Amino acid sequence: MTMAGHDRTGLRKVRIYGGLLALLGLMMFPFYTMIASTFKPEPEIFSTPATLVPEEFTVEAYLAVWGQTDVLLWIGNSFLISIATVALALVLAIPAAYSCARNDFVGKKTFLLSVLVVQMFAPVVLIVGLFDVMVSFGLYNTYLAVIIPAAAFTLPFNIWMLYGYFKTIPIELEESARIDGASQFEILWKIILPLAKPALVASITYTFLYAWNRLLFVLTFLTDDSKFNIPRGVFSMVGALQADWRMMLTVSVIGIIPILILFAFLEEYIVAGMTSGAVKE
């Protein structure tokens, strides 16, 4: 490689890393300012103009938050709602996806495309109809009023994700198991699902995040504040006449920790899930 060529790749590297770090800084800034604020003492957080770097560092907000807010309850509710939504969505999606992947039947194409249209019907334009349904079925102000719509609106993604993956599993594996006397259920449970693990993880992650993050259903269908999840809890603090910014930001930081952990472990699956859900090669 010539000297000039070497310089050029060096320069290229600087340009790429420079650009990347600038973009990363831009995207990370909101996190930074949120986290930095939670470590400022009470008077400093309310200084004008804001200090970009905390002049004094304290963890007192994190010690106070447990007593002053219901953050633990909200996190517990978020877990409850998310896990139940995942369970319901998968129980419905797995058989449907498996059926479409393994059989050719009249109406399959219609089914799969209608499911795709459901994904377009965002919950908020349906909220009025859903409200009416929830009230008339007596589900208003129960966890189910949140779990059921969340499962419904994640079902399209789950069916498509699993359908696509099930199709790639060779049918010969099932046939040999059937010869060995395995039942249909055993085949699904012991052969197909373990092989479809990447798709399952993507589905679970997507559904979990959806249920964890959504404010709309909890805002509309749950009035009882002991049932609030994290977004609803944070929102209830905004609504207060004199917003307690310090507590609100601290709760926010605590509320995103489970997601950060999820992301750190499952990044690959999340990316695979996101991309295969939207763009088909």
Partner 1 sequence: MSSVKQEYNDRPTDSRIEWLRTEVWESYAPYLLIAPAIVFLLSVVAYPILETFRLSLYQSPTNSPVETYVGVEHYVTILQSEIFYQLLWQTGRWVAVSVMLKTVLGLLIAVHLNQEIAGRKFFRTAFLIPWGIPYAISAVVFRWIHHPQYGSLNAILLELGLISSPIGVLGNPSTAWFGAVLADVWIGTPFMAIIFLAGLQSIPDDLYEAAAIDGAEWWHQFRYITLPQLKSVILIATLLATIWTFVSFDVIWTMTRGGPMNSSATLVIWIYRVAFDQGSLGEAAAYSVIGFAFLLVFAVLYLRLYTRGGESL
43 to 72, contacts with partner 1 by CB under 8 A? 45-52
Whether 213 and 153 have beta carbons less than 8 Å apart is answered as no
123-136 and 144-168 helices, crossing angle to 10°: 120
Q: Which of 107, 125, 119 is nearest to 156 (CA)?
A: 119
Q: Which stretch binds partner 1 (CB under 8 A): 62-70, 101-109, 168-176, 191-199?
A: 101-109
109 binds partner 1 (CB under 8 A): yes
Contact range with partner 1 by CB under 8 A, out of 56-64, 169-177, 193-201, 216-224: 216-224
The verdict on 74 binding partner 1 (CB under 8 A) reads: no
CB 103 to partner 1: min, Å: 4
Distance CA 173, CA 72 (A): 46
111 binds partner 1 (CB under 8 A): yes
For residue 139, what is the enclosing H or E element? none
Q: Residue 83, interface with partner 1 (CB under 8 A)?
A: no
Site residues for partner 1, 176-205, by CB under 8 A, read 184
Work out which of 212, 221, 228, 269 binds partner 1, going by CB under 8 A: 212
Q: Does 279 bind partner 1 (CB under 8 A)?
A: yes
DSSP run (H or E) holding 69 = none
How far is residue 56 CA from its own chain's centroid?
Answer: 35
Alpha carbons 136 and 219: distance in angstroms, whole number: 18
Size of the site for partner 1 (CB under 8 A): 98
Beta carbon of residue 158, minimum distance to partner 1 (angstroms, whole number): 9
The secondary structure of residue 225, as a DSSP letter, is G
Name the residue nearer to partner 1 (CB basis): 58 or 213.
213
Kindly tell me which of 66 and 121 has the beta carbon lying closer to partner 1: 121
Residue type, 205: T
Which residue in this structure is represented by tokens 């950060």? 260
- CA–CA dist 15, 10 (Å, integer): 9
Token pair 């009035």 in the structure block, residue: 223
Q: Which is nearer to partner 1, 98 or 165 (CB)?
A: 98
Residues 254-273 that bind partner 1 (CB under 8 A): 255-256, 259-260, 262-264, 267, 270-271
Q: How far is the CB of 59 from partner 1 (least distance, A)?
A: 19
Separation CA 187–CA 182 (nearest Å): 6
Per CB under 8 A, does 241 bind partner 1?
Answer: no
Per the listing, tokens 């209830």 go with 236
Cα dihedral 16, 21, 22, 27 sign? positive
Window 121 to 150, contacts with partner 1 (CB under 8 A): 121-133, 148-149
- Return the residue of 231, 247, 250, 269 that touches partner 1, per CB under 8 A: 231
Query: Is residue 169 within the footprint of partner 1 (CB under 8 A)?
Result: no
* Token output for 4: 């000039």
